[in-house]
Amino acid sequence: MKKIYTFVTALLVGVSTQAQTVDDFEGVSLTSESFDNGSTSPSNFSMYGVTLNNSYDSQSGSWTGFAISNMTDVTTPGWTNQYSAYPGSGADSSLNYGIGYWSPVMTNMGTQIFQTFEITNTTYAYLSMRDGDGYGKEFGSPLDGNGLDDGTNGEDFYKVWIMCEGFGQIDSIEFYLADYRFADSAQDYIIDDWMTIDVTGIGFPVDQISFKFESSDNDPTWGIKTPAYFAIDNIVTETLEGLDELDASAFKVYPNPMNDVLIIEGETAEYHLLDINGRLLMNSLHENHSVLDTSKLPSGVYFVKMSTGKGQVTYKVIK
């Protein structure tokens, strides 16, 4: 049965929402039982105003961030089946959905804000937790993947931290994809259906969401042993009324290309420095003149987003 995880909605002063958009991944053309992990054209995925980060390494054939899939295999265990959602389809029995792996980030660069999205386990993660796979343990067992006592007494869990950002504010939601910590073992569960996450009550308009993984099953050297995946679908966003784009001339952002410093001049605002994958690197209050230390940033493309009560404007800068 589908559950909806709702958080009490806070009042947003000075703005209201309209023009709801649903990113259901159905606009992506995939052949049957296939996926796109960025290998054909390595880049982020942008759909309906939402950017999903993707990084593909052609030398190793590995990827992080998001992939898009319509795989339906719910029985094959292991890494070779990393692109299947355990329910066997997208949300509401749709074809396509997203797969988040290791460092997924969703970003809205305009006046769109996140409302809800649906999430579930992948087949790879689900079967690893249910049965164990020789590396990740069987949840509920007092033994690790090597058959040794791991000190958990079977009280295992796997969760994602949903890190919400917007207007210079950050908050988070914990969502358990599996939880075996109940006194009554009959309550233990691994999520096997699509669940709705509602972020509208986070307390501020959310324009970026990143995901961090946590598990009770860890290696002291390599970290989390549970497969760090989830499936996602039906990303709902809305447009903020009364938050228009500022004129680009409202601020000066220089030098471009930058080197060790980046200078911002203009009216009082909140600045956000983002990398090309939408990850937040710096943010603070800007008052007329700000100097950002960019000496430790690698070469690449970055975005500076300036937000005021009148709206926001984004600048592309290169190092």
Please, are residues 229 and 99 in contact by the beta-carbon 8 Å criterion? Answer: yes
Nearest Cα residue to 191 out of 133, 122, 254: 122
Helix (H/G/I), strand (E/B), else coil: 92 = helix
Nearest Cα residue to 232 out of 27, 130, 85, 123: 85
Q: Which two tokens stand for residue 239?
A: 């447009």
pLDDT digits (tens, 9 = 90+) for 120-129: 999 999 999 9
Residue 183 has pLDDT above 60, yes or no: yes
Please state the rounded mean pLDDT for residues 86-115: 92
DSSP state of 217: -
- Rounded CA gap, 61 and 43, in Å? 14
Name residue, tokens 């549970």.
Answer: 226
Helix (H/G/I), strand (E/B), else coil: 220 = coil
Q: What pLDDT does residue 18 have?
A: 56
- Confidence band of 205 (pLDDT split at 50, 70, 90): confident
- Rounded CA gap, 104 and 157, in Å? 20
- Rounded CA gap, 169 and 208, in Å? 11
Residue 308 or residue 217, greater confidence: 217
Q: Give the whole-number percent of the chain exceeding pLDDT 90.
A: 69
Please state the rounded mean pLDDT for residues 44-50: 87
Which CATH number is 244-318 given? 2.60.40.3080
Count Cβ atoms within 10 A of the Cβ of residue 276 and give its class: 0-12 exposed, 13-18 middle, 19 or more buried: middle
Nearest Cα residue to 208 out of 199, 195, 217: 199
Q: Where in the chain is the domain with CATH 2.60.40.3080?
A: 244-318
Mean pLDDT computed over every residue of the chain? 88
- Rounded CA gap, 186 and 180, in Å? 9
DSSP state of 101: E
- Confidence band of 245 (pLDDT split at 50, 70, 90): low
- Confidence band of 10 (pLDDT split at 50, 70, 90): very low
Residue 13 has pLDDT above 50, yes or no: no
Sign of the CA dihedral running 77, 79, 85, 89: negative
Sign of the CA dihedral running 201, 207, 212, 213: positive
Residue 310 has pLDDT above 80, yes or no: no
Which residues 6+ apart lie within 8 Å of 220 measured at CB?
Answer: none
- Confidence band of 197 (pLDDT split at 50, 70, 90): very high
- Rounded CA gap, 288 and 264, in Å? 8
Q: Which two tokens stand for residue 247?
A: 């004129």
Q: What pLDDT does residue 202 have?
A: 87
Q: What pLDDT does residue 241 have?
A: 57
Q: What pLDDT does residue 239 have?
A: 79
Nearest Cα residue to 48 out of 204, 239, 241, 226: 239
- Confidence band of 14 (pLDDT split at 50, 70, 90): very low
Which CATH number is 4-241 given? 2.60.120.1350
- Residue environment code for 60-95, b if the CB has 16+ CB neighbours within 10 A, otherwise e: eeebbbbbbbbbebbeebeeebbbbbbbebbbeeee
- Rounded CA gap, 112 and 262, in Å? 27
Please state the rounded mean pLDDT for residues 233-252: 76
Least confident of 40-44, 93-97, 178-182, 207-211: 40-44
Q: Where in the chain is the domain with CATH 2.60.120.1350?
A: 4-241
